[in-house]
Amino acid sequence: MSSNKKRLNILENIENHISMLQPEPAVAEKVEADTAPLKWKFDVLKSIEEHIALLKPEFPPQAMISIGEYLAKILLEGHLIEKIHNVTPLFVSKSSGEIGKWGQYAIGDNLTLGLDSRVDTHYWYNVQAFTSKNDAFITRLREKAVRKQEDALVVSSLWDGIGSGLLPLMISTLAESNINSVALGILPSRLQSPDVHFNAFSSTGLCISQNLSPLLLVDRDCLEAFVGANRDGSIMKGERLISYILELMLTKGSFVPELSEYSRQLNAQMFSILPVTGASLNIYGSLENMLDSALHQPLLKFDLSSSSVLYVLIRLPQQLKEKFTRGRIELSVADWVKKKANLRSVYVSEPIYVDEVSDRIDMLLIVGGFATTAMFAAMEKKVKDAKNNAIKKGFLKENEWQGIVKTLVKD
């Protein structure tokens, strides 16, 4: 039983005990008239009841949904759940029983969702076929992913069948319940085989064709090659960056609705990230130097000069609030970016100011509207055999494939 369930059961037991202690109306009247000292006792009971009402948890306004084994292991081992507040996490994979074994501590059944069926999950279309025929799974998905949240941040590895097959479904399920979502998908390494690139290509195309959620793409090679600093000055390498990024996004409670609205208004659906982590102002000297450093470790190889929009998320110490107001940051970013690209829009979110004695700054430059045709045209060639095999065996129709390609390869 999860800690949340235990807590609720304890509260229910206390309430039941109080109801047994409370006198019948006639007895209460007698207490009021004849035994004034006992009145104090029932005042205390009333106070306890009111306190219990305050303790009862409500569903947090945000959800963080992780799909696939790769991300679940990173996030559970990195203790992300302990670092985020007002967020409901959900981990989705092939087996709900296996998910609990990937972290250093147990998580409750209410935080996991598995296909829990002997279904082939190598390709995205296997998972798609399973979910399209399985009402029981869809019901469980809605019960666990669609509660009373207003927004959801969905993260998925796109090379495995689970991640690539479920991400489009998750986005559409959330949209049907009027829940804003932002999706972050991790593309496979260039060293991985063509079949997993086929999964990633297909899932990306399906997500974009729905036009329901901004999609942030991260290249696995770029992610695992990353070297940066934590806010305490220690070295941060590789996949640990994902937990760092998600913690920053989720700390900014308005991130998902802001980026969702920005994406719709500017008609830009595909984004990637230029990260700055734990950058010391004393070392870098200026915000502009930090921005320059972000160009050296992009999380996707794309042409910045072809980009059209930029959303900036920034966290800095409270002691720098007067030096770096939102207005000053906007001007610094605008001046810096005009030398790099001819953007239609730059949006700097209200900074997150934290009570720290350090001078370290975190920034996520979320860039969108860049040219993707060359990148996806090369990937299309790489997955040709896997696609042909799927069509030959009847798992995929030619017109369905062309619809996917059309969203990613514009000419």
Q: Are 312 and 272 in contact (CB under 8 A)?
A: no
**pLDDT(257) > 70:** yes
Q: What is the pLDDT of residue 199?
A: 98
Torsions phi, psi for 68 (to 5 deg)? 100, 155
Q: What is the pLDDT of residue 55?
A: 45
Q: What is the pLDDT of residue 2?
A: 43
Q: What is the pLDDT of residue 7?
A: 43
Q: What is the mean pLDDT of residues 117-129?
A: 93
pTM for the structure as a whole: 0.84
Q: At what angle do helices 135-145 and 161-176 cross, to 10 degrees?
A: 70
**pLDDT(247) > 90:** yes
Q: What is the pLDDT of residue 244?
A: 94
User: Could you tell me whether strands 235-237 and 227-229 are parallel, antiparallel, or unpaired per DSSP bridges?
Assistant: antiparallel
Q: 395: closest CA among 26, 130, 61?
A: 130
User: Could you tell me whether strands 360-368 and 309-317 are parallel, antiparallel, or unpaired per DSSP bridges?
Assistant: antiparallel
- Residue with the bigger pLDDT between 333 and 79: it is 333
- 179-234 confidence digits (pLDDT tens): 999 999 999 999 999 999 999 999 999 999 999 999 999 999 999 999 999 999 99
Q: What is the pLDDT of residue 24?
A: 52
Q: What is the pLDDT of residue 170?
A: 95
Least confident of 21-25, 310-314, 388-392: 21-25
DSSP H or E segment with residue 264: helix 255-266
Least confident of 24-33, 170-179, 332-341: 24-33
Q: From the CB of residue 50, how many other CB atoms can be counted at a distance below 10 Å?
A: 10
Q: How far is CA 159 from CA 165, 166, 190, 191, 360, in A?
A: 10, 12, 11, 12, 35
Sign of CA dihedral 51, 53, 55, 61: negative
Q: What is the pLDDT of residue 46?
A: 61
DSSP H or E segment with residue 263: helix 255-266
Instruction: Enumerate the β-bridge partners of residue 216.
Output: 184, 271
The confidence band for 93, taking pLDDT boundaries of 50, 70 and 90, is very high
**Rounded mean pLDDT of the chain?**
87
Q: What is the pLDDT of residue 5?
A: 44
Residue type, 17: H
Burial 23-45 (b: 16+ CB within 10 A, else e): eeeeeeeebeeeeeeeeeebeee
The confidence band for 53, taking pLDDT boundaries of 50, 70 and 90, is very low
* pLDDT > 70: percent of the chain: 84
Domain-wise residue ranges, the chain: 3-55
Q: What is the pLDDT of residue 406?
A: 93
Sign of CA dihedral 140, 144, 147, 153: negative
Q: Are 175 and 213 in contact (CB under 8 A)?
A: yes
Q: What is the pLDDT of residue 146?
A: 76
**pLDDT(166) > 60:** yes
DSSP one-letter code for 78: T
Torsion of CA 240, 258, 338, 271, to 10 degrees: 50
DSSP string, 306-335: G--EEEEEEEEEGGGTTTS-HHHHHHHHHH
Q: What is the mean pLDDT of residues 283-298?
A: 95
Measured in whole angstroms, the distance separating CA 107 from the mean position of its chain's CA atoms is: 18
Least confident of 137-146, 209-218, 265-274, 303-312: 137-146
CA distance linking residue 196 with residue 189, whole number of Å: 9
